[in-house]
Amino acid sequence: WLKGAVAASSPSTMGGTKGKGSAGKGSAGKGKGKGKVTAPWIKQSAPGWVSTGKGKKGGKSSGKGGKGGKGKGKFRGAAPLNSQFWVKKAESENRSELPGSFTGTVSSYNFKFGWGFILPDDPKSLPKQAKAKLAEARDEAAAAGKDVGDENLIYFRKPDVDKELFPLQKETAVTFSVYVDDKGTGACNITSS
């Protein structure tokens, strides 16, 4: 009688957290089998239950070298000027440079992503193809419910700017050429005025 009571009150047979394995054969924890032993560093889950995410209190992982945030030390920011990324991107968009040289000012520049906008001093002097692409882009933005802002802003990318202009500042006076591609009008060969 006493031996059965001691075995029944043992933490390893009552579903407690101490002890190795499970109750083994039989019911109500009468057996002394060790059951399946797993390494403590392997993530264990209850039978029949599958984890589907972090849950409500899951936080961001710090990643390698971690200062927090996503990723494992991935490069952040625009590709370097001498990167093949820019060459492939220009080729994939079917650029066609238009004749002429124009002046304007840098309206904005996003350093992290490597692109910005130039406001031409005289938008009426732009080639007809460039004006048509600007109007097309404006109409698409308006149809999508976006705020158009100034319809004469011309997009440019980091490799289209002369290295001497960096770090690029707002309101910098520039001279540039214009191109058209699959996405619209852009500025290239951007130098200081």
**Listed range (31-45, 94-108, 142-156) with the worst mean pLDDT:** 31-45
pTM score of the predicted model: 0.57
pLDDT digits (tens, 9 = 90+) for 117-137: 999 999 899 999 999 998 888
Distances, alpha carbon 184 to alpha carbons 130, 139, 152, in Å: 8, 12, 12
Give ∠ CA 177-180-182 in degrees, rounded to 5: 150
Residues 109, 78: Cα–Cα separation, whole Å: 12
Q: What is the mean pLDDT of the chain?
A: 74
Task: Evaluate the omega torsion of the peptide bond into residue 80 and state whether it is cis, within 30 degrees of 0.
Answer: no
Distances, alpha carbon 77 to alpha carbons 110, 111, 118, 168, in Å: 10, 7, 21, 15
Q: What is the pLDDT of residue 79?
A: 72
User: What average pLDDT score do residues 90-98 get?
Assistant: 80
Q: Residue 43 corresponds to which tokens in the numbers above?
A: 């993530």
Residue 10 pLDDT grade (very low, low, confident, very high; cuts 50, 70, 90): very low
The 3 state secondary structure assigned to 3-37 is HHHHHHHCCCCCCCCCCCCCCCCCCCCCCCCCCCC
Residues for the chain: how many in total?
A: 193
Residue 159 pLDDT grade (very low, low, confident, very high; cuts 50, 70, 90): confident
